[in-house]
Amino acid sequence: MDFNQINRNITDRVCKILETKAARYTQIVVIAVISFLIILDFYLFISDKATVSETIRDNANNQLFVITWVWGILAAHLFVCRPKDSNKIPELLGIAILLIISVIIFLLGKYVNVPIPQYMHIILLALGGVSGYYFWAQEIEEDKA
Partner 1 sequence: MDMMQTIEVVEKVLLVIVIILVIFDIYLYVNDTDGDTISNILKNWVNDRFFFITYLWGVLAGHFFLGDKDPIITNTAWSLTIVLFIALLLFISGMFFKKRIPPKGQIILLVFGVIIGHFFWSLN
Residues making contact with partner 1 (CB under 8 A): 9-10, 13-14, 17, 20, 22-23, 25-27, 29-30, 33, 37, 40, 44-45, 49-61, 67-68, 71-72, 74-75, 77-82, 118, 121-122, 124-125, 129, 138, 140, 143, 145
To the nearest whole angstrom, how small is the minimum distance from the Cβ of residue 61 to partner 1? 8
Residue 83 parent element (H or E): strand 82-83
Do the Cβ atoms of 121 and 71 come closer than 8 Å?
no
Give the H or E element holding residue 140: strand 139-140
* Minimum distance from residue 3 beta carbon to partner 1 (Å): 13
Give me the phi and psi of 72, to 5 degrees please: -65, -45
- Minimum separation from the CB atom of position 107 to partner 1 (A): 18
